[in-house]
Structure 1
């Protein structure tokens, strides 16, 4: 039994497909298939049921895979302990962020860390919260920037800043004459939202119960794949949207866009940094926190 074989079965359980699992593991499909079969023969159990176009995990297979994940996490911990004995600020730091934060915070974060920790390269990734959490727990990321609530055993979470949401309108919209808008009014406009899977979409819908109810009743809100796409759609006159403050005046098309604050209670989010309790590079986390808090003071959020 090897760590490689354990990595293969965990990946196959996640993808449910030999071809995709092999691709993610950067090996050929026959190599992965033979290794998994070898492990099943060694353990004298069937971990996966093979079907024509997919696989399912057996009951005993699920238990083995859960233990395999723990074993892989502990193996990653050994690597981290070895790194701990080196200069904590010279090894690369792997940081992830959700799609609605990463594009707006990463450029300045790279700049800040180049000034404070020039030897520490920064690997950055944008993804959904669920994927970031998975990669953090597996040790593929060292820290992630997410919106609260974010609760997970063995994970430390530190709030960074509060960020208001703003109404984003085309400059010709009738609401531009207002000084503020209530969340209850969202149901009265052609609203552009991010697609399902984005936590920011959920936060917008949570701020306006009537809007969420309308969408659940087959009211079709237009969707965009990113906040920047939505900004361009609003600038083109295709509707209005709700955006976090960081995205309100970013990018092109600002001369066609107007932002409007919400009346109390103002919707928003708490942005936080999360990392594993066991992560040994505490100095690297401290530097990351300092850089992120410095960025928040330059207008990223509302401290």
Structure 2
């Protein structure tokens, strides 16, 4: 058994297709199939159920898969540690951000990251919280930027900044004339939220849990931009993170954004990475740039 065979097995488990797994692994399909069979013979168990146009894992294969991922992840950590020992701020760093942070934070930090970390090549991705954490644990990414807290078994977390919530209301709404809004002012309002899977949905529900606010059952948005359009159309009100209301994302186009009166509800935006990561120096450098930028 070798790492190459485990890579073939993981690729096949991910794609559930011999052709696609071979393409991902840069080998021919017969070669990949033969190596998987060789691995099964070595282990003395069947890992794959081969059916026409369909590949499924056996029960044993399902048990072995997370162990194989972990072995591959640790082997990549060894290579990464050796490669970056002399220049820890060089090479690729795979970073994922959740959709309610990425589009609004990246414009503020990208230029600084390039200037202060010129040898670090950032590979940027966008995932919702749970898929992000899954990919982090599987070694597909090295750093996540999301809202804390999150389940952090095997992971390290670091708070980076506190982000206030704001209220977005239609232009003709009574609250649009206020200088600021108290949480109690939202009592009885129709609250528009993102669909399940977005942590911002849970955060907004938590903020509003102490008042009698009605969640709209008829409309759920797939993004903040859709949510904005729904407010502008007069379907209800919503909570938006402050970064998502700056510049062109602020008041206008049918809606008005209002700040909360004190105490202002906030969310904690932070970083998460594997405890075993060999990229701690690069991760620390990126986190520090984000932290200082958000303090300016």
Taking the TM superposition and a 5 Å limit, the aligned residue runs for 1:272-283 are: 272-283=270-281
Task: Report the secondary structure of 2:120's partner residue.
Answer: coil
1:297 equivalent in alignment to 2:295 = yes
Pair 252,269 (structure 1): closer, same or farther in 2 beyond 3 Å: closer
Residue 121 of structure 1 corresponds to 121
* Structure 2 contact 164–267 (Cα < 8 Å) conserved: yes
Structure 1 residues 68-124: Cα deviation after superposition (integer angstroms, max 9, x where no partner)? 122111111111122222311221222111111011111222111122122222221
Taking the TM superposition and a 5 Å limit, the aligned residue runs for 1:64-103 are: 64-103=64-103
Pair 208,29 (structure 1): closer, same or farther in 2 beyond 3 Å: farther
Residue segments in structure 2 that go unaligned for 5+ positions in a row: none
How far has the Cα of 1:193 moved from its partner? 1.8
For 2:258 and 2:51, the matched residues in 1 are separated by: 54
Residue 150 of structure 1 corresponds to 150
* Structure 1 contact 181–262 (Cα < 8 Å) conserved: yes
Taking the TM superposition and a 5 Å limit, the aligned residue runs for 1:146-225 are: 146-178=146-178, 179-182=180-183, 185=186, 188-189=189-190, 191-209=191-209, 220-225=217-222
Pair 182,28 (structure 1): closer, same or farther in 2 beyond 3 Å: farther
For 1:262 and 1:23, the matched residues in 2 are separated by: 52
Pair 258,275 (structure 1): closer, same or farther in 2 beyond 3 Å: same
For 1:171 and 1:19, the matched residues in 2 are separated by: 54
1:235 equivalent in alignment to 2:236 = no
Taking the TM superposition and a 5 Å limit, the aligned residue runs for 1:46-61 are: 46-50=46-50, 54-61=54-61
Deviates more, 1:117-126 or 1:259-268: 259-268
Task: Report the secondary structure of 1:132's partner residue.
Answer: helix
For 2:20 and 2:169, the matched residues in 1 are separated by: 42
Aligned residues: 294
Task: Report the secondary structure of 1:123's partner residue.
Answer: strand
Residue 248 of structure 2 corresponds to 251
For 1:139 and 1:229, the matched residues in 2 are separated by: 32
* Structure 1 contact 49–57 (Cα < 8 Å) conserved: yes
How far has the Cα of 1:252 moved from its partner? 5.1
Task: Report the secondary structure of 2:217's partner residue.
Answer: coil
Task: Report the secondary structure of 1:99's partner residue.
Answer: coil
Give me the CA root mean square deviation: 3.1
Pair 285,212 (structure 1): closer, same or farther in 2 beyond 3 Å: farther
For 2:33 and 2:233, the matched residues in 1 are separated by: 51
